[in-house]
Amino acid sequence: HAHELIGRQEVQGLLDNLAKSYPKLVEELIPTIVSLGTVMRVLQNLLKEGVSIRDLRSILETMADWAPKTQDTDILTEYVRHALSRAISSELSVNGTVPVITLSQPAEDAIQKSIQHKETGSYLAIDPVIAQRILDSIGKVITMFEGTGRPTLLVSPQLRPYVRSLTERYYPALSIISHNEITPNLKVQSFGTVTLDAS
C-alpha cells in the first residue's frame, strides 16, 4: 500500500533530497514543466503496480522530456515505465527468462475496440460479457503459473494501461507489462494465452 502513503509532503521531501545532487533538474522541472501534484500521481501509479521509485532521477528526466507534450499522468507513467524497463523486467525475470501469459488476437482486438477517446482523456468501455470472459480466462491461465514466479501478463504498449484498469480489482497481484519493458538480454516464455472463449 505504498501508493497510499505517498502524498505531497513526502514527494516534496524526495525532491528536496534529489535537489542536493541534481539542483538544475528539480529547479527546471517543478513547477515550470509539471506540478508537484503531477509528479505525485505518477509516483503513486508506479508504486501501485510495485515499481520501485528509487531511480527518481530517471523518473524526473523522463517527465521533463514528455511533460511539454502531455500532462496526462497515465501517459506520463507509461513513458516513465519504459525508462525504467531494466528494473521492471529484471524484477520479473527468473534465470534470464520472463515467464508471461499473453492475450489472444481476438482478446486484444476486443480491448482495442473498447477504448474511448474523449477530450478529458481515454478510458475503457468494454462490454461486461467480454470483460468477464477475459477475466475468467486470466484466472484459469494464472493457475498454470504456480511455482514459476509472479504472474505477468504481456500486452502491447498502447493497451497496457487499459488492461491494467480492467484487471486490477480482480487480480491485484498480476503484473501487466508491455513489450517495451522487456530488455533485449531477457528471453520471454509464454505459459498460456488469454482467450475470449466462453467457459
Distance (Å, rounded) from C-alpha 89 to C-alpha 142?
19
Low-confidence ranges of the chain (pLDDT < 50): none
Closest of 46, 49, 73 to residue 58, by C-alpha: 46
Within 10 angstroms of residue 147's Cβ, the number of other Cβ atoms is 5
Q: What is the pLDDT of residue 131?
A: 96
Instruction: Tell whether the torsion through CA atoms of 180, 39, 59 and 64 is positive or negative.
Output: positive
Q: What is the pLDDT of residue 65?
A: 95
* Strand (E) or helix (H) holding 102: strand 97-103
DSSP state of 181: G
Q: What is the pLDDT of residue 148?
A: 64
Q: What is the pLDDT of residue 132?
A: 96
